[in-house]
Amino acid sequence: MSTAPAPERAPVLEVRDLVVRFHTEAGVVHAVRGVSWDIDAGRSLALVGESGSGKTVSALALMGLVPSPPGRVEEGSVHLRGRSLLGLSPREWQRVRGREIAMVFQDPMTSLNPYMRVSDQMAEVLTLHKGMSKAEAVAESVR
């Protein structure tokens, strides 16, 4: 039996000194000011705070979805399994989002396309990331 300590594992998600600002005609809005956290494998993190405290903007920044302009991630770093997420190309984001990192949006009316069936929208993720045919993906999404 070994008495050596278990090797330290790197967090699955590391956020360091994240700063997000929105540049508007009325001035600069400091939406996220230097937040940091780690999420270890098998663990969850709840972002809890008052309305307008930056929870959603923090999550959007992690997903590369801050609306630009006027928003920008101006400082900090985000690493998923050691890989920097800030600065990924749209094509790289397409491979990461929905497969390695995802978000449950607060308001389904703004995140679902009202002109597409929900099963088709769910199936799209499976065809992109799992290589399923459209028929297989639709069947899986309603299973």
The pLDDT value given to residue 8: 62
The pLDDT value given to residue 85: 94
- Encode pLDDT of 117-128 as tens digits: 877 888 887 888
- Encode pLDDT of 54-102 as tens digits: 888 999 999 898 988 899 999 999 999 999 999 899 889 988 887 888 8
Reported pTM: 0.70
> Any idea where the domains of the chain sit in the sequence?
13-87
Comparing CA positions, the residue from 75, 31, 73, 25 lying closest to residue 56 is 31
E strand spans, the chain: 13-24, 27-39, 71-80, 83-84
**Helices H, strands E: what count in the chain?**
5, 4
Tokens of 27: 């001035």
